[in-house]
């Protein structure tokens, strides 16, 4: 699995609804938060889900009383917005059009993303999501900025 993790002061994801854009997921107002753009790749399984969830929930990227990045999301009472994003597996090495052959097929990817969200909810009370297989509008205010790239194949 691959993830882009951003420390944010706010984030939300909107999709087209009957009356225009409708918000389907958002971080809690005023709470420290993470926006996680998450992709599942061919060969990913529950071990990748477990590693990624544990790593992201435990990232010490929130400031303590001394201003050092020393606290995890659970320690600061934060929230998380998870947005599935197969384009994290886009291969741009050849030509100008990305190849997505490294991305997991949609049905299996959705199951892994759901499993990731379920694991995160064991430690983080508020985990919101986008809507799988829809065109989403993701809005965020990056805090820091702090942006990290994670890959379960390189970390395990």
Residues labelled catalytic: 85-87
Residue 116 vs residues 39, 50, 56, 65, 128: alpha-carbon distances, Å: 11, 7, 10, 30, 12
Residues in the chain: 156
| 81 in Cβ contact with 27 (< 8 Å) | yes
CB neighbours (10 Å) of residue 107? 9
| 49 in Cβ contact with 116 (< 8 Å) | yes
């Amino acid at each position: 699995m691959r993830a882009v993790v951003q420390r944010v002061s706010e984030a939300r994801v909107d999709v087209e609804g009957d009356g225009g854009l409708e918000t389907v997921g958002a971080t809690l107002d005023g709470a420290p938060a993470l926006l996680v753009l998450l992709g599942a790749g061919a060969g990913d399984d529950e071990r990748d889900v477990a590693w990624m969830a544990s790593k992201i929930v435990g990232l010490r990227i929130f400031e303590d009383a001394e201003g050092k990045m020393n606290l995890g999301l659970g320690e600061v009472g934060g929230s998380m917005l998870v947005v599935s994003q197969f384009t994290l597996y886009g291969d741009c090495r050849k030509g100008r059009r990305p190849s997505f052959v490294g991305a997991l097929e949609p049905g299996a990817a959705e199951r892994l993303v759901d499993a990731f969200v379920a694991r995160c909810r064991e430690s983080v009370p508020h985990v919101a999501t986008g809507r799988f297989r829809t065109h989403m509008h993701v809005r965020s205010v990056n805090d820091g900025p702090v942006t990290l790239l994670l890959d379960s194949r390189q970390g395990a």
